[in-house]
């Protein structure tokens, strides 16, 4: 290992980081691939957000007047699929994982750079294909869950294109997962122990285990579904003797862990950001590691809580209720660890920190409704209502997307060597936070009062609350503007950040910003205490 690093270093001494063209190339550099994931994902986020805005405009009035009903269904399906498979999963895993993990393990690249580039380049074509299906014969209409028999009876071409692109995206995700596991386990710098890794490595290890264990099951399921659609087999078609509940079991065996695939990396990222900006060590490192792994194990055995109304037998309801409630324990440990990390710290109020704190608030709310939904009597009452929509968005938007923004503010200086503007950042946070809560908090009430999800029309009594929710959605759409302006201004003439603007101790800051092509001049540093803030022997004012 040492030999190869030295040799490689000599070879690259003369190389300069090259221009923006590399972001359009089949680059094998993990930093380039990370940025490719991020920018590509963000473009899809804008498309998915536009669809969400269209949905909220439609829902501002009880009758179906803005969109035709089938277009509403297509937008709904595309919104869900794009946001999950093309924005959150690629960004929170692919973008930050590729950028940060090699730094954290003290490597010069991922374990399999070529596989890494393949994994990224699967994403743009499958995303474009998915969106293009709308313009051919209409996109899929059966929601991101594609439950049969709905997915078998709705127009075929869109559904098949949906299946193909989800299969490709799943493949990309599996390749990424294999790469992360190999990098974290096998490519660690000599002398670096597992329990010294920054928390994001653990989060990505857990996430990648989930990806590798559960995504293939979704792939197999979708292959069977495509047989049902194209070859008229009867796997999931009751008319032909099939069983729809089998589809639901197989689908949720992936799609429940998928929620952890979306949120565990965010747990890791927030555990990196909070200690830096509150100048305190991460509270309870070991418990954090064990709770991540606990979530991985439990996350694989709770899927049927999505199916309490699918005729599941009582013993199954009991088991999955208990298992799901247990997940609250490791999650609660993490929540208290974050709060304890902040407690008594020297907190700097900046955009990264604000988004992280926003995450904690939203996430605890989404977590509480999650525990409520795990209880069978309550779940049966609110199943398939806006309560579920609200819960899900509190986890995935209020949780993960807040952390994505927080991470962008935190690591922007690392990537570009420029600071992001704080005023616009705080404005961005304020509009996002208010808009988000205005949009989704009322939906709890809607759900409890029985408004079903996924339907373009609703009872007029819900109109006022829906309008509030739509105003929130409008604010969320507007919140993107200060963010984009901020990025644009900062890239053009932002303040130089220096190598380590936050005085952080994690390994990625111990090199220049932006980093050299081979990550370090010389050998990778051995960081035994990535969270050693507040140590009397560590001089915070001394630049490393």
Partner 1 sequence: MTTLDSSKEIQKNKSEVGEHHEDFRMFGLVTFLIADGMTFAGFFAAYLTYKAVNPLPEGAIYELELPIPTLNTILLLVSSATFHKAGKALLKDKNSDSQRWLILTAFLGIIFLICQLFEYFHLPFGLTDNLFASTFYALTGFHGLHVTLGTLMILIISWQTRLNKGRITSKNMFPLEAVELYWHFVDGIWVILFIILYLL
User: Smaller CB distance to partner 1: residue 115 or 361?
Assistant: 115
Stretch that binds partner 1, among 2-10, 359-367, 429-437, 493-501 (CB under 8 A): 2-10
Which residues ranging from 492 to 521 are in contact with partner 1 (CB under 8 A)?
517
Among 31, 56, 108, 453, binds partner 1 (CB under 8 A): 108
3-state helix, strand, coil in the chain (%, to 5): 70, 0, 30
Among 235, 303, 359, 533, binds partner 1 (CB under 8 A): 235
DSSP H helices in 231-313: 244-278, 285-299
Residue window 134-173: x/- pattern of binding to partner 1, with contact defined by CB under 8 A: ----------------------------------------
Which phi and psi (to 5°) does residue 328 adopt? Answer: -60, -25
Q: Does 187 bind partner 1 (CB under 8 A)?
A: yes
DSSP H helices in 60-155: 69-81, 96-105, 113-121, 123-136, 150-153
Among 68, 137, 232, 484, binds partner 1 (CB under 8 A): 232
Tell me the site size for partner 1, rule CB under 8 A.
60
| 464's tokens | 């006022």
User: Smaller CB distance to partner 1: residue 152 or 342?
Assistant: 152
d(CA 132, CA 82): 12
| 15's tokens | 């190389």
Among 25, 309, 348, 461, binds partner 1 (CB under 8 A): 25
DSSP H helices in 351-421: 351-374, 376-382, 386-395, 402-416
User: Smaller CB distance to partner 1: residue 221 or 466?
Assistant: 221
Residue window 458-497: x/- pattern of binding to partner 1, with contact defined by CB under 8 A: ----------------------------------------
Q: Does 95 bind partner 1 (CB under 8 A)?
A: no
Residue 362, number of CB atoms within 10 A of its CB: 24
Minimum distance from residue 178 beta carbon to partner 1 (Å): 5
Q: Does 181 bind partner 1 (CB under 8 A)?
A: yes
Among 189, 249, 306, 428, binds partner 1 (CB under 8 A): 249
Which phi and psi (to 5°) does residue 501 adopt? Answer: -65, -25
d(CA 304, CA 306): 5
Q: Does 279 bind partner 1 (CB under 8 A)?
A: no
Report which of 277, 197, 96, 91 is spatially closest to residue 506, judged by C-alpha positions.
Answer: 197
- 153 Cβ neighbours under 8 A, 6+ residues apart: none
Q: Does 186 bind partner 1 (CB under 8 A)?
A: yes
Stretch that binds partner 1, among 142-150, 245-253, 347-355, 376-384 (CB under 8 A): 245-253
DSSP H helices in 154-243: 156-186, 199-230
Report which of 295, 274, 282 is spatially closest to residue 195, judged by C-alpha positions.
Answer: 282
Q: Which residue has the tokens 């190389």?
A: 15
Q: Does 348 bind partner 1 (CB under 8 A)?
A: no
Q: Does 212 bind partner 1 (CB under 8 A)?
A: yes
d(CA 322, CA 355): 32
Minimum distance from residue 246 beta carbon to partner 1 (Å): 5
Which residues ranging from 353 to 382 are in contact with partner 1 (CB under 8 A)?
none
Do you find a cis peptide bond into 514, omega within 30 degrees of 0?
yes
Q: Does 128 bind partner 1 (CB under 8 A)?
A: no
Q: Does 8 bind partner 1 (CB under 8 A)?
A: yes
Among 182, 301, 361, 434, binds partner 1 (CB under 8 A): 182
Q: Does 185 bind partner 1 (CB under 8 A)?
A: yes
Among 12, 309, 348, 461, binds partner 1 (CB under 8 A): 12
In contact, 106 and 525? CB cutoff 8 Å: yes
Which phi and psi (to 5°) does residue 70 adopt? Answer: -70, -30
d(CA 335, CA 339): 6
Minimum distance from residue 108 beta carbon to partner 1 (Å): 7
Among 37, 40, 49, 109, binds partner 1 (CB under 8 A): 109
In our burial notation (b when 16+ CB lie closer than 10 A, e otherwise), range 517-539 reads bbbbeeebeebeebbebeeeeee
Q: Does 300 bind partner 1 (CB under 8 A)?
A: no
User: Smaller CB distance to partner 1: residue 142 or 221?
Assistant: 221
Length of the chain equals 544
User: Smaller CB distance to partner 1: residue 221 or 511?
Assistant: 221
User: Smaller CB distance to partner 1: residue 15 or 349?
Assistant: 15
Among 243, 287, 449, 467, binds partner 1 (CB under 8 A): 243
Alpha-carbon distances of 255 from 86, 89, 218, 250, rounded to whole Å: 15, 12, 8, 9
Q: Does 227 bind partner 1 (CB under 8 A)?
A: yes
- What residues make contact with partner 1 under the rule CB under 8 A? 1, 3-5, 7-8, 11-12, 15-16, 18-19, 21-22, 25, 27-29, 108-109, 111-115, 174, 177-179, 181-182, 185-187, 212-217, 219-221, 223-224, 227, 231-235, 240-243, 246, 249-250, 253, 517
């Amino acid at each position: 290992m040492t030999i190869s690093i030295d040799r490689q270093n000599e070879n690259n001494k003369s190389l300069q980081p090259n221009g923006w063209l590399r972001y359009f190339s089949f680059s094998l550099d993990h930093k380039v691939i990370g940025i490719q994931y991020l920018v590509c994902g963000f473009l899809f986020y804008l498309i998915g957000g536009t669809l969400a805005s269209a949905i909220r405009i439609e829902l501002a009035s009880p009758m179906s007047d803005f969109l035709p009903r089938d277009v509403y269904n297509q937008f709904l399906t595309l919104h869900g699929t794009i946001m999950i498979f093309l924005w959150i999963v690629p960004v929170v895993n692919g973008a930050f994982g590729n950028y940060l993990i090699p730094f954290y393990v003290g490597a010069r690249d991922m374990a399999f750079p070529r596989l890494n580039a393949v994994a990224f380049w699967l994403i743009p074509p499958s995303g474009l294909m998915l969106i293009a299906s709308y313009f051919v014969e209409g996109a899929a209409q059966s929601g991101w869950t594609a439950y049969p028999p709905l997915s078998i009876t709705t127009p075929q071409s869109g559904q098949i294109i949906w299946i193909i692109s989800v299969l490709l995206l799943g493949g990309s995700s599996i390749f990424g997962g294999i790469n992360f596991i190999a990098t974290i386990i096998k490519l660690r710098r000599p002398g670096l122990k597992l329990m010294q890794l920054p928390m994001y490595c653990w989060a990505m290890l857990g996430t990648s285990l989930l990806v590798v264990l559960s995504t293939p099951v979704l792939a197999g399921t979708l292959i069977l579904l495509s047989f049902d659609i194209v070859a008229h087999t009867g796997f999931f078609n009751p008319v032909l003797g099939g069983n729809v509940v089998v589809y639901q079991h197989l689908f949720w065996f992936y799609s429940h862990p998928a929620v952890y695939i979306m949120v565990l990396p965010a747990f890791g990222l927030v555990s990196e950001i909070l200690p830096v900006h509150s100048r305190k060590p991460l509270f309870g490192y070991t418990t954090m590691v064990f709770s991540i792994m606990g979530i991985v194990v439990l996350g694989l055995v709770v899927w049927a809580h999505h199916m309490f109304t699918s005729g599941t037998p009582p013993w199954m309801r009991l088991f999955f209720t208990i298992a799901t409630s247990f997940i609250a324990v490791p999650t609660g440990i993490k929540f208290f660890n974050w709060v304890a990390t902040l407690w008594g710290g020297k907190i700097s109020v900046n955009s990264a920190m604000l988004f992280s704190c926003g995450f904690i608030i939203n996430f605890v709310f989404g977590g509480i409704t999650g525990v409520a939904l795990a209880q069978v009597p309550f779940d049966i009452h609110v199943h398939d209502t806006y309560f579920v929509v609200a819960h899900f968005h509190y986890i995935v938007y209020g949780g993960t997307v807040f952390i994505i923004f927080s991470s962008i503010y935190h690591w922007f200086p690392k990537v570009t060597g420029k600071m992001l503007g704080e005023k616009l950042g705080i404005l961005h946070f304020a509009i996002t936070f208010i808009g988000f809560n205005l949009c989704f908090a009322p939906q709890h009430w809607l759900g409890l009062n029985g408004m079903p999800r996924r339907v373009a029309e609703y009872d007029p009594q819900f109109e006022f609350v829906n309008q509030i929710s739509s105003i929130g959605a409008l604010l969320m759409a507007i919140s993107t503007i200060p963010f984009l302006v901020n990025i644009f201004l900062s890239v053009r003439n932002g303040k130089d950040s220096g190598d380590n603007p936050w005085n952080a101790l994690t390994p990625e800051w111990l090199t220049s910003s932006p980093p050299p092509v081979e990550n370090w001049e010389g050998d990778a540093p051995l960081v035994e205490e990535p969270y050693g803030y507040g140590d009397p022997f560590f001089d915070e004012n001394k630049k490393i």
